[in-house]
């Protein structure tokens, strides 16, 4: 980055700091700021909600391309997007997000609707299905690990029981042998 330019930009913003404060006091709001610049807005129609979009981020716009049997395209004029007193024509659509995005099919007197949003919804569905599959695979792997650990614990417990039983049998055999030897020695002595 050019440090000379940054210092100039910062000085320019600081030079106009009092103007920014004055504008905020009369109803302007911060829209966004970048190094060396500040953008303020003021919606002039208080009885109508502010339609200014937020600063560039991630937005999903959708539009429908509608053609009737006479190869006429459906177009709309924006009420709030006027340039040089001209209301520009555009395809019907607007801002959408993944939560509220939906396929909208509109029939307007012999108008066939071709909806581009289907592709977006298919992508969303595929991503959700992949996520569900990953979660299911993870759950199955977790269950398998738990079952293997459980089987290993049971195997260890069985092994411990077998060792204890063998030890008890050895002790019993040793005791019986000792008793028999002592009894035989007692008979020999008498």
∠ at Cα 101 (69, 135), nearest 5°? 130
Is residue 38 within 8 Å of 20, Cβ to Cβ?
A: yes
pLDDT band for position 108 (cuts 50, 70, 90): very low
Backbone dihedral angles phi then psi of residue 114, each to the nearest 5 degrees: -110, 115
Among the listed residues 103, 113, 108, the one whose alpha carbon sits nearest the alpha carbon of residue 67: 113
Q: Is the pLDDT of residue 59 over 50?
A: yes
Tokens of 116: 């581009």
Burial of 136 (0-12, 13-18, 19+ CB in 10 A): exposed
Tokens of 61: 């716009």
Stretch 77-88: mean pLDDT: 69
Average pLDDT, the chain: 76
Helix or strand or coil: residue 91?
coil
Torsion angle in degrees (nearest 10) through CA of 16, 20, 21, 22: 100
Question: What pLDDT does 152 receive?
Answer: 92
DSSP string, 27-77: T-EEEEEETTEEEEE--S-TTS---PPPSSS--EEEEEEEEETT-PBP-EE
Tokens of 82: 């006027």
Is residue 77 within 8 Å of 88, Cβ to Cβ?
A: yes
Return d(Cα 56, Cα 46) in angstroms, integer. Answer: 24
Whole-model pTM?
A: 0.30
pLDDT band for position 35 (cuts 50, 70, 90): confident
- Residue-wise pLDDT tens digits, 1-21: 334 445 555 566 567 788 888
Among the listed residues 81, 119, 78, 114, the one whose alpha carbon sits nearest the alpha carbon of residue 101: 119
């Amino acid at each position: 980055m050019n440090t000379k330019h940054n210092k100039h930009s910062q000085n320019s913003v600081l030079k106009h700091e009092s103007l920014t404060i004055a504008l905020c006091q009369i109803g302007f709001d911060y829209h966004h700021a970048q190094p060396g610049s500040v953008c303020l807005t003021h919606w002039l129609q208080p009885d109508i909600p502010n339609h200014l979009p937020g600063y560039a981020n991630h937005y999903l716009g959708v539009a429908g391309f509608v053609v009737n049997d006479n190869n006429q395209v459906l177009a709309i004029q924006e009420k709030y997007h006027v340039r040089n007193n001209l209301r520009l024509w555009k395809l019907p659509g607007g801002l959408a997000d993944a939560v509220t995005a939906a396929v909208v099919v509109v029939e307007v007197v012999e108008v066939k609707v071709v909806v581009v949003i289907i592709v977006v919804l298919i992508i969303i569905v595929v991503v959700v299905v992949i996520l569900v599959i990953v979660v299911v695979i993870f759950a199955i792997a977790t269950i398998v690990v738990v079952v293997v650990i459980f089987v290993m614990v049971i195997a260890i417990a069985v092994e411990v029981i077998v060792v204890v039983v063998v030890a008890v049998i050895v002790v019993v055999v040793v005791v019986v042998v000792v008793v028999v030897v002592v009894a035989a020695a007692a008979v020999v002595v008498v």
